[in-house]
Amino acid sequence: MCLDPKINPATQEPVKCANLTAFAPCYPAPNISCKDYEGNVTTFSGKEIGFFRPFPCRNVNGYSYKVAVALSLFLGWLGADRFYLGYPALGMLKFCTVGFCGIGSLIDFILIAMQIVGPSDGSSYIIDYYGARLIRLSINNETFRETQLYP
């Protein structure tokens, strides 16, 4: 039985996240015997940790997704969303042009809501751990593709 990782309430990420991975303890069922690579046999009672399960985690630096969307929705025409995310030049440009006459504000709201535009330092938004998150999938040369079988 593997426990859920402990969640830091400030960052909404697992505690002790290092190299984009956090670990949670797992307890084998009672009377399970395992042999390690040296040939030693260990019998578990169900109360000791048998191994640690890895959990993915993200790098966050204090930028809240909810705040970014709210700023974009209500003050996007002043460039407040871009100032908040660390883009002062774009924020000033939006401020001087009143959000590019509203069109830029609408586009920025969609981009921030879809999590395409994020903080300028490359970190991720703080989003509730059990909330909706965007996970980007990509295909590269190491991605396995299963061949299609046609009847």
Q: What is the pLDDT of residue 96?
A: 96
Q: What is the pLDDT of residue 51?
A: 86
Side-chain half-sphere CA neighbours of 104 within 13 A = 20
**Cα distances (angstroms) measured from residue 31 to each of 35, 43, 48, 103, 128:** 13, 6, 12, 65, 38
Q: Is the pTM value of this prediction over 0.85?
A: no
Q: Walk along the chain (151 residues) and give the pLDDT tens digit of each residue.
A: 899 999 999 989 999 998 989 999 999 888 888 887 788 888 888 888 888 999 888 889 999 999 999 999 999 999 999 999 999 999 999 999 999 999 999 999 999 999 999 999 999 999 988 777 777 777 888 777 777 788 6
Q: What is the pLDDT of residue 117?
A: 94
